[in-house]
Amino acid sequence: MADRLREMKIFSGSAHPEFAQRVSENLRVPLSSAKVSRFSDGEVSVSIEESVRGADVYVIQPTCPPVNENLMELLILIDALKRASAYQINVVMPYFGYARQDRKTRSREPITAKLVANLLEKAGANRVISADLHAGQIQGFFDIPVDHLMAIPLMASYCHKTLKEELKEGKVAVAAPDIGGVVRARRFALQINADLAIVDKRRSYEVANYCEVLEIIGDVRGKTVVMIDDMIDTAGTVSKASEALIKRGAEKVYVCATHGILSGPA
Range 103-112, long-range pairs (CB < 8 A, 24+ positions): 103/135, 105/205, 106/205
DSSP letter, residue 31: B
What is the rounded distance in angstroms from the CA atom of residue 218 to the CA atom of residue 87? 52
In contact, 258 and 151? CB cutoff 8 Å: yes
**Residue closest to 75 by CA, chosen among 222, 83, 163, 167:** 83
- H helix intervals, 28-86: 67-83
Q: 171, 201, 223, 240: which one is catalytic? A: 201
Q: Which residues contact 138 (CB under 8 A, 6 or more apart)?
A: 96, 99, 102, 113, 117, 146
What is the rounded distance in angstroms from the CA atom of residue 3 to the CA atom of residue 5? 5
For residue 226, the tally of other CB atoms under 10 A from its CB is 27
Structural element, H or E, at residue 257: strand 252-260
What is the rounded distance in angstroms from the CA atom of residue 257 to the CA atom of residue 90? 25
Strand partners, 173: 195, 225
What is the rounded distance in angstroms from the CA atom of residue 144 to the CA atom of residue 166? 44
Residue type, 48: I
Known catalytic residue at 201:
yes
Q: Any idea which residues carry the catalytic annotation?
A: 201
